[in-house]
Amino acid sequence: MDNNASAKSNNCNSKKIVKTKNKLWNMNFILLWQGQFVSNFGDSIYDIALGFWILAKTGSTGLMGILMATAVIPRVFLSPIAGTYVDRHNRKNILIVTDLIRGIVISFVGVAAVMNFIQIWMVLMGGIVLGICGSFFNPAVQSSIPDLVPKDKLVKANSTFSLASTGTDIIGKTLGGFLFHLIGAPIMFLINGISYIFSACTELFIKIPNKKRDINKVKFFEDLKSGFNYVKSNKGIKYLYITIAILNFFAIMGITLLLPLFNSKQYLGPERYGVAMAFSTGGMFLGFLILSIVDLSNIKKSLIFIAGGLINGLAMGILPHVPNYFIIVILLFINGFSVAIINSIIQSTMQAAVSDDMRGKVFGFRRTLSSSLVPMAMAIGGILAEFISISIIISVGFSIIFILFFALGFIKPVKKLIDNL
């Protein structure tokens, strides 16, 4: 009798989830989205407060860079392992536990700063915890979205999440400096810690389908290897990974070199750099906003994806040679808009194409790929700039991106994968 009652209860819960999943803005999606919004805002002001606080305490930009990088480093090594773990365990529990741990640790850093017993090692450990928890949290979120919304609304769902991230980044950076002078870094640390705890509390009420997996049948590292083989054997996903790698490498290199490019041009200068990058972020915001509203279900998404890449490569390829600041700002706005389109379609395609038991691993590998390329692209770009004109490096890099997306127009597995979204 107990087993029958349990089965009926599970069936009832499944029906509720399926019924709720038929629309984008269902309660489960709203809870997940608003939790992300709150914690992202906390992260945004925390990063600014941390940078200013370290400089005020130590006066060392090198130490500032090292401490702020501690949250990034764990992603490179842990993401594939974390992704495999996510596929083998309850995603809702992972979301709650990782947010709760981050909330407690960063709140402690805030309390230590308020009571003036904080040490640099505490900030270092806080950064490491953020990185470790983020390595598990992000694939859990990305793997859960397809279980909460219909397949034909995945682009809207991902654009809405990116909209929250971009929006909080703009708001946080705008208010961060003002808040630092108004309430100080310790209170800003506390705000971030509390935002994580708040997010964890709201995640308690999310209903994410928990599909039972017999994790004893397959050993952990065999499961990890299966994720790599899954990507390798699927032509469409494999080509998408190659696209992500090339795009990330040359785009990061080019964007990093924009700062010294602005610094070297008399008609630009450092003071105009911040405004120009704000326009790029604004373009991303608009792109995510449009994709969160417009229905793409009856449109060939591969054409939009390829057009976005071609426009991005063309706009950024000619930017270093444009002598007019107003046109440069427009090109950066176009860059941000096209990046929003590319990222949303890649994310949604992978969520729709990858089976439920593989999503965490696939997204974990993607995160490792993206994170590991960041320092490499920055370092190589900086070294090349010592010997070659910055304008040429940026133009060549984005020209390669243009050629890449032109070639994708002839690769059927990629087009088929994206159009099946």
Mean pLDDT of 249-265: 84
pLDDT (0 to 100) of residue 9: 47
Are 197 and 126 within one domain?
yes
218: confidence class by pLDDT, cuts 50, 70, 90: low
Residues in the chain: 421
Choose the most confident range, by mean pLDDT, from 89-103, 143-157, 159-173. Answer: 89-103
Q: Which two tokens stand for residue 175?
A: 């208010």
Give me the CATH number covering residue 385. Answer: 1.20.1250.20
CB neighbourhood size of 396 (10 A): 15
Are 273 and 338 within one domain?
yes
Residue 26: inside a domain: yes
- Domain-terminating residue out of 170, 203, 236: 203
**Considering only CA atoms, which of 141, 166, 147 is closest in space to residue 364?**
141
Q: Is the pLDDT of residue 213 over 50?
A: yes
Report whether 390 contacts 257 (CB < 8 A). yes
pLDDT (0 to 100) of residue 217: 57
- Domain-terminating residue out of 148, 170, 203: 203
pLDDT (0 to 100) of residue 315: 95
User: With helix as H, strand as E and coil as C, how does 176-193 read?
Assistant: HHHHHHHCCHHHHHHHHH
Cα dist from 330 to 312, 314, 316, 405, whole Å: 12, 13, 11, 22
Average pLDDT, the chain: 82
Are 264 and 367 within one domain?
yes
Residue 89: inside a domain: yes
Mean pLDDT of 309-313: 95
Residue 215: inside a domain: no
The SS3 call for residue 33 is helix
Phi, psi of 181 (to 5 degrees): -75, -30
Query: Distance between CA atoms of 374 and 65, rounded to whole angstroms?
Result: 14
- Domain-terminating residue out of 169, 203, 237: 203
Q: Which residue has the higher pLDDT, 334 or 408?
A: 334
Mean pLDDT of 225-235: 77
Are 280 and 141 within one domain?
no
Q: Is the pLDDT of residue 32 over 50?
A: yes
Give residue 160's domain range: 2-203
pLDDT in tens, 34-80: 888 887 888 878 877 887 787 778 776 566 666 666 666 777 778 77
Report whether 95 contacts 172 (CB < 8 A). no
Count the domains in the chain.
2
Are 22 and 123 within one domain?
yes
Global model pTM greater than 0.75: no
